[in-house]
Chain A
Amino acid sequence: MRLNRRSVVGLVLASVALLSLARSDEGSGAPTISFATQVRPIFNQHCIACHGGIKQTAGISFVYRDTVVGTTADDGKVVVPGNPGESELIARISSTDPDERMPPQDHGGPLSPDEIGILRQWIAEGARWETHWAFEPPKHRPIPKVSHAEWCRTNLDFSVMEQWDRLGLKPNRPADPATWLRRVSFDLVGLPPTAEELDEFLIDSSPLSREHVVERLLSSPRFGERWASPWLDLARYADTMGYEKDLGREIWPFRDWVIRALNDDMPFDQFSVKQLAGDLLPNASLDDRLATAFHRNTQTNAEGGTDDEEYRVAAVIDRANTSAQVWLGLTLGCAQCHDHPYEPIANAEYYRFLAFFNNTRDYDTDEEFPKAAIPYDRNQSEAASQLDRDIQARKRQIQASVEPWFGDDRWQNAKIESAQATGSNELCFDAVDGLWEIRTGASLTAGSTYTIDCPLPPEATRITAIRLDALPLDVGAAAKLPQPGFILSYFKLQLLVPDRDPIDIPLRYALDEDPEPFYSASESLDSNLQGFSGYPRQSQINRAIFVPAVPVDCPPGGKLRFVLEHHSSSEHLFQIRRARFWYCGDDFWSEPPRQESLELKHCALADLEWRRSRLNSISVPVLSELPPERRRTTFVFHRGSFLEPTEIVTPSTPRALSSSKSNPLADRLELARWLASPENPLAARVFVNRIWNELFGSGIVESIENFGSSGQFPANEALLDSLAIRFQSGMRWRLKQLLREIVLSSTYGQDSSVDRGAWSADPRNRNLARGPRNRLSAEMVRDQALAVAGVLSEKMYGPPVMPPQPDGLWLSAYNGQSWHNATGEDRFRRAVYTYCKRTSGYPGLLSFDAPTRDVCVVKRIATNTPLQALVTLNDAAFVELAHAFGERIRNCDRADPRDKIAWGYRLATSRDPSPKKLDLLLELFEKISKSTDPLKVSDEAETPYSIVASALLNLDEALTK
């Protein structure tokens, strides 16, 4: 059935009329038609399929004002402000000729008279084109006057009541104290109140009793554990890499970082900057670098035969899209292949935004380089941070002293006389532009060893160093699309003297031009290590210098022989495709050791690295920026395909969001600072809205993932803006402050039940005229069961745990890892610590809508399914807890079963059962007592109490907060 479009529009208009009322006080003589709420929706619904961001038929796009609104009748634009009669737009939409009329029949047919009327009136009033509300900074508003100021407990209540006064609504009665306590306990710490907490609160008559509860909860370590989950959904945190093999990834220290930061109430601006760009902060600590694991939660594709560049780009795209989702509330990804269909964000602007993220070292390698070594013992963090800084400084020093030495003018290019390779490789050699080089042909075999002989001219009597340049086959093409990489596993130098066996020249050390290669040239000196590399792909020339232990004295007729061994697997064929060889006789490389000589610097570095290695650490993938000289060029990809790079772009934020005064941002750090600042009109709004959604079950802007013009309008713009402004100023971006204001408000404290009429009038509670009542989140369902069973472990942090799950669920291809049900305390840890495998998540959590963590998830859609019932009734992990809960009920200090059951009921639901409910549960108890053998008490058989406990855990009241 297709609904009559007119009636739909009519209703939409009726509902948005309320919003436009809110705006009508902007000055007398203001237009009666609102562009944002009345005109743009018509464009979005009917016009932009052909005249939008993607298709701009006839050069007209209703996303961009300039292509639509002109100044005079004859400038070719379809809208002439103030003159509907002269506007082609009106002529076309009201034409009776089907060939003329817009939209055409096969694109939805004519607009309704109402819609045409709106557009006509809008043009008559001057065709004002408003910036989308969310792209304007939030407006500061004074606290409004309301009908019942005495009802308002916190600032936000005034904004809520102001709307009620307009709509003629009244607050609902307050929730009973036990209900409020349950609600606030789950919302702040994710656990139900204990019996003692409940008792204490119910007898506390002090006027500040609620404040006391809130302070207790906010300062509990459980707070960070509860609030980590929604953030980890955004961060797409998981304990595996994803894709086919879905190998394990040790990145849990990031999860712990989030929990600590939340418990410390780290201001959201800092929290953001550290995660987006902690590595670029001046004097970055190890914790700052760990925070950047946020963007290393992208997936790594370890499947055999995948293109690392393809999945590196996929990760970078994910980072750009996730950043836009989290800090802008926008679906920037829509502009990946073409201009954004609804928002004024051009295709190239997407890639400008992406460019901020396109300069990190990580490269979809199975080893997940680069990583930071995070000490297991937090007390060593400081020392480790300092050592890391010293090591960096040392490396930079060495780099600085040898950098000039990579210049060609200090080296002689070695003439090549023969080049051979094992396997079916064809190695050719010749001089290109006067420089001798080797090149591989089309046929390549893995594990090939190259032997290159270079005759030395008579003047080369002494050689102190060798330089090896590994080049992409096509240097120009590699700059656009990186070419296959190489690892030189073992490098050997020999001196050939006529009539003698080759003489091995021992090499003392090797230096890379790249300051931080994944595998370094010095590894080429040991055939057991990796080696000089352009890994996993090569986009520019890689150079290394090899220094003999003692200078080589070359007799006349002597030759150098270079032996290059490649050990890489057949799958990757990491082999040098093209190379040049150089030699040098300068004393720089052979000077006797003196203070601050290269040699000593190397010793000092080795000492620092040794000391660092003594701090027992776990390696966590982090972001690390490429130095300026190795920076990547970012291209616009034709239709989103990395194989088709087109225009070069430089980093910048979308114009629609940038205020004119903001300077171009230089790098990821500046971007991060802008994203989490009042300069970004969306940061605070999007954050506040997400928190609201978490507490109320829906956001003030219901489309919490989309603040763009195709998203929804805030149900209460004043409420959203006033919270956003105060969050970023008075509250100094502190989550706990924000939560304090919300949970102590009268709005939050209302009873959730209303009469049918009130409920039907606002089924989704957009007007907030009742309190929230929502199903527990996946984590809360499990944590509550742990808590009431009395087994909840308070152990924090550390590697993820494996509570019981059925056998045979982990079946990833080419992955030998398996699930081992935890024993002891780790069996009963909070759900946030459960091992999260992307391709096979923990079933008990997934059933309750926990996401797989493949990509950033802003909103979990709460469902209500029979499979959930099967989890809480039958999952062994749950049955075990019901059993423990049953034992607890049986052993509680109440005399008879009825009182015992009432005690358990209160634990599971935070309220006393009505006598009738208690009757029903007692009846169940007695029925089972009769049917089971009272003497038979084993771990296997369920006792009457454990069945009652199971029933309690499955009650609607237990599954709801």
Chain B
Amino acid sequence: MNERLEFRRIQMELETRRQFLKSGALGLGSLWLAQAGFTNDVIATLGSNADRASVRREPHFRPRAKRVIYLHMAGAPSQLEMFEYKPELQKLDGQDCPQEFLSGKRFAFIRGIPQLLGPVFPFRQVGQSGAWLSDRLVHFEKVADKVCFLHAMQTDQFNHAPAQLLVMTGNQSPSYASAGSWVTYGLGTETQDLPGYVVLLSGGRFPDAGKSAWSAGFLPSVYQGVQCRSSGDPVLFLSNPPGTSSEIRAAEIEAIRQVNELTYREVGDPETLTRIAQYELAYRMQISASDAMDIRHESAATLEMYGAKPGEEILANNCLLARRLIERGVRYVQLFDWGWDAHGAGQNEALNYGFKDKCQQMDRPVTALLLDLERRGLLDETLVVWGGEFGRTPMRENRGGKPNEYAGRDHHPHAFTIWLAGGGVKPGFSYGETDSIGYFPVKDAVNPRDLHATILHLLGIDHRRLTYRHQGLDQKLTSVKPARIISEIVA
């Protein structure tokens, strides 16, 4: 079609020119000249003049991972009841916390002198790697040899919303770009018909940081995560309105396209061409997103393996959806599962009640996800990350100075566990150690910047070179502070 060829030629002209002019958003990718075919072009030029220039498509070096599934357990799960075995803490159970751990520290809810709380559940060693798991993780035993634990993760935020923002966007304040936005900005997407960055929620609530946790921040809004849902419209406004058949809709979009093409001939504004392309893309997305999000297409065995229940908004469904989306070329799938904040102030947030249930709801589908990805040959090039926004204190929470009614732990920014799997990380490996009660790291601490630098590295991106000009600064996911690629965990 003439318009299409014309469109591509203009885009290339524009792009070349902008690269040389080097103004506004800096981005000197080799995108245009390397691309072939209209549809790729359309994807690559999502957005207006303002952001075309900042699109990069090619990684900086050979990637180990092509895609990411990030499982965030919002509320911060207790490492001491899952992956971090501390027999010494068991011995000290019930004793007053030594003053050295309290003075100068800020706590969300602990007041006065709290008591140490031993692991609430027994641990055992599993697999060849001999990883320690609590008895709450039954299925996970099968994949423990596939994951790489970071036992000495640290943050500097001890409230949920800021800590989630920090681990998602690299900054504790809202308005920064999330890691998923950076990755889609850096690599684009491999799918023509789906958003490149999809967000799935379970647990009945937003993560505490709300939509800011998947915001594009200062990046153009095309890079923000698109929330998909397993009930209702899978993507907001995806379905035709009641009474509008797909034939009618097809005719309407065709008419819009034809009129817009005439407008382009009259006015010559390339934005009109972009708009034509976006309407076609929207139409295709209506079909492919509905299909991708429909887990009823899966076999009964698969549904069983994940514990998925079509129509519900649960973590199991979202784990399965993550795999379906990844299969279809989505670059970054971000899951949030709300409800891990086990303070012990009430039953549903007690370690031996609500938390126990959360473990059960997580154990099976997350295990299934890793097994399923592996079985389909996707694990090698899919990086899976699992974690919370901080850890839990070795002390039993004593809200208002009195031990809480149920066993629970307060927010603990100094040390917690996250794990990675697939996508070029060492399987069956543990990195980082904490002291005998799990309070501070004693070896190989990792902060969120290091984690981000490492995720980008595995994706073939140099975190120092993935930048976007905003407010006079070349902004980076890893900010201006030092960030280290954890090369020790790269396979």
Residues of chain A at the chain B interface (Cβ within 8 Å): 1-3, 7-8, 11-12, 15, 54, 242-244, 246, 299, 301, 303-307, 314, 331, 333-334, 337, 341-343, 423-425, 442-447, 569-571, 573, 702-703, 705-706, 708, 710-712, 752-756, 759-760, 763-764, 773, 775, 806-808, 811-813, 838-841, 843, 846, 849, 852, 854-855, 861-871, 873-876, 879, 914, 916-917, 920-921, 923-924, 927-928, 931-932, 938, 940-942, 947, 950-951, 954-957, 959-960
Which of B128-136, B264-272, B355-363, B446-454 is the interface stretch? B264-272
Contact, CB under 8 Å: B215 / A840: no
Q: Tell me, yes or no, whether B482 is within 8 Å of chain A by CB.
A: no
Q: Tell me, yes or no, whether B411 is within 8 Å of chain A by CB.
A: yes
Known: A307-B106, A571-B400, A866-B278. A756 touches B50 (CB 8 A): no
Of the residues B232, B262, B269, contact of A806 by C-beta under 8 Å: B232
Of the residues A306, A710, A947, contact of B248 by C-beta under 8 Å: A947
A243 to B209, CA, bound (A): 6
Contacts of B51 in A (CB 8 A): 861, 863
Q: Tell me, yes or no, whether B242 is within 8 Å of chain A by CB.
A: yes
Of the residues B111, B173, B247, B279, contact of A314 by C-beta under 8 Å: B173
Of the residues B195, B253, B255, B264, contact of A923 by C-beta under 8 Å: B255
Contact, CB under 8 Å: A924 / B252: yes
A444 to B401, CA, bound (A): 5
Residue of B nearest to A877 (CB): B237
Contacts of A871 in B (CB 8 A): 237
Looking at the assembled complex, report how far the CB atom of A7 sits from the nearest CB atom of chain B, in whole angstroms.
7
Contacts of A11 in B (CB 8 A): 20-22
Contact with A along B67-105 (1 / 0, CB 8 A): 000000000000000000000000000000001001000
Contacts of A445 in B (CB 8 A): 112, 400-402
Contact, CB under 8 Å: B23 / A710: no
Contacts of A954 in B (CB 8 A): 252, 256, 279
Known: A3-B19, A870-B236. A754 touches B268 (CB 8 A): yes
Residues of chain B at the chain A interface (Cβ within 8 Å): 10, 13-14, 17-24, 28-30, 46-51, 58, 99, 102, 106-109, 111-113, 158-162, 173-175, 195, 201, 204-212, 215, 220-222, 226, 229, 232-233, 235-245, 247-249, 251-256, 258-260, 262-264, 266-269, 271-272, 274-276, 278-279, 281-282, 285-286, 338, 399-402, 410-411, 470-473, 480
Contact, CB under 8 Å: B260 / A305: no
Known: A1-B30, A866-B285. A763 touches B17 (CB 8 A): yes
Looking at the assembled complex, report how far the CB atom of B232 sits from the nearest CB atom of chain A, in whole angstroms.
6
Contact, CB under 8 Å: B211 / A841: yes
Looking at the assembled complex, report how far the CB atom of B110 sits from the nearest CB atom of chain A, in whole angstroms.
9
Task: Identify whether the interface residues of A are mostly helix, strand, loop, or mixed.
Answer: loop
A759 to B255, CA, bound (A): 27
Contacts of A879 in B (CB 8 A): 241
Contact, CB under 8 Å: B262 / A863: no
Enumerate 10 A-B pairs (CB-CB under 8 Å) in ascending A order: A244-B208, A424-B112, A573-B401, A710-B473, A756-B268, A808-B232, A840-B210, A866-B278, A917-B262, A947-B244
Of the residues B13, B161, B235, B249, contact of A303 by C-beta under 8 Å: B161
A868 to B278, CA, bound (A): 8
A843 to B226, CA, bound (A): 11
Residue of B nearest to A338 (CB): B480
Contact, CB under 8 Å: B174 / A299: yes
Contact, CB under 8 Å: B109 / A874: no
Contacts of B254 in A (CB 8 A): 924
Contacts of A931 in B (CB 8 A): 245, 247-248
Contact, CB under 8 Å: B220 / A839: no
- Taking A8-B22, A813-B208 as known contacts, 11 extra A-B pairs with beta carbons closer than 8 A to each other, sorted by chain A number, are A702-B24, A710-B472, A813-B338, A862-B50, A870-B236, A870-B237, A914-B262, A917-B259, A917-B263, A932-B248, A959-B275
Contact, CB under 8 Å: B249 / A873: yes
Residue of B nearest to A810 (CB): B206
Contact, CB under 8 Å: A839 / B210: yes
Contact, CB under 8 Å: B237 / A875: yes
A852 to B158, CA, bound (A): 24
Contacts of B245 in A (CB 8 A): 931
Contact, CB under 8 Å: B24 / A867: no
A755 to B268, CA, bound (A): 8
Residue of B nearest to A758 (CB): B268
Which 6 pairs from chain A and chain B are nearest by CB?
A570-B400, A839-B210, A305-B108, A446-B400, A1-B30, A445-B401
Looking at the assembled complex, report how far the CB atom of A343 sits from the nearest CB atom of chain B, in whole angstroms.
8
Residue of B nearest to A918 (CB): B259
A923 to B256, CA, bound (A): 12
Residue of A nearest to B172 (CB): A314
Of the residues A343, A838, A951, contact of B255 by C-beta under 8 Å: A951
Residue of A nearest to B227 (CB): A809
A503 to B109, CA, bound (A): 39
Contacts of A7 in B (CB 8 A): 20
Looking at the assembled complex, report how far the CB atom of A565 sits from the nearest CB atom of chain B, in whole angstroms.
15
Contacts of B112 in A (CB 8 A): 424, 442-445
A446 to B399, CA, bound (A): 8
Residue of A nearest to B229 (CB): A808
Residue of B nearest to A807 (CB): B232
A711 to B472, CA, bound (A): 6
Contact, CB under 8 Å: B20 / A753: no
Contact, CB under 8 Å: A955 / B19: no
Looking at the assembled complex, report how far the CB atom of A162 sits from the nearest CB atom of chain B, in whole angstroms.
23
Contacts of B109 in A (CB 8 A): 304-305, 570-571
Q: Which of B241, B275, B278, B282 has the most CB atoms of chain A within a 10 A radius of its CB? A: B241
Contacts of A343 in B (CB 8 A): 472
Known: A840-B211, A855-B174. A870 touches B235 (CB 8 A): yes
Known: A423-B401, A442-B112, A839-B211. A942 touches B175 (CB 8 A): no
Contacts of B14 in A (CB 8 A): 760, 763
Residue of A nearest to B213 (CB): A839
Contact, CB under 8 Å: A812 / B111: no
Looking at the assembled complex, report how far the CB atom of A448 sits from the nearest CB atom of chain B, in whole angstroms.
8
Contact, CB under 8 Å: A869 / B279: yes
Q: Which of A841, A843, A862, A876 has the most CB atoms of chain B within a 10 A radius of its CB? A: A862
Known: A861-B221, A867-B226. A924 touches B175 (CB 8 A): no
A425 to B266, CA, bound (A): 81
Contacts of A811 in B (CB 8 A): 201, 204-206
Contact, CB under 8 Å: A874 / B238: yes
Residue of B nearest to A340 (CB): B472
Contacts of B251 in A (CB 8 A): 924, 927-928, 947
Contact, CB under 8 Å: B206 / A812: yes
Contact, CB under 8 Å: B237 / A838: no
Residue of A nearest to B339 (CB): A813
A570 to B397, CA, bound (A): 12
Looking at the assembled complex, report how far the CB atom of A886 sits from the nearest CB atom of chain B, in whole angstroms.
12
A333 to B480, CA, bound (A): 13
Q: Which of B19, B220, B232, B471 has the most CB atoms of chain A within a 10 A radius of its CB? A: B471
Looking at the assembled complex, report how far the CB atom of A36 sits from the nearest CB atom of chain B, in whole angstroms.
16
Contact, CB under 8 Å: B252 / A854: no
Contact, CB under 8 Å: B258 / A920: yes
Contacts of B210 in A (CB 8 A): 244, 246, 812, 838-840
Contact, CB under 8 Å: B174 / A570: no
Contact, CB under 8 Å: A852 / B211: yes
Contact, CB under 8 Å: A955 / B108: no
A1 to B32, CA, bound (A): 11
Looking at the assembled complex, report how far the CB atom of B270 sits from the nearest CB atom of chain A, in whole angstroms.
8
Of the residues B212, B233, B242, B255, contact of A940 by C-beta under 8 Å: B242
Looking at the assembled complex, report how far the CB atom of B268 sits from the nearest CB atom of chain A, in whole angstroms.
5
A708 to B472, CA, bound (A): 8
Contacts of B410 in A (CB 8 A): 305
Contacts of A337 in B (CB 8 A): 480
Residue of A nearest to B241 (CB): A879
Looking at the assembled complex, report how far the CB atom of B149 sits from the nearest CB atom of chain A, in whole angstroms.
27
Looking at the assembled complex, report how far the CB atom of B382 sits from the nearest CB atom of chain A, in whole angstroms.
25
Contact, CB under 8 Å: B48 / A864: yes
Q: Which of B159, B253, B258 has the most CB atoms of chain A within a 10 A radius of its CB? A: B159
Contact, CB under 8 Å: A855 / B175: yes
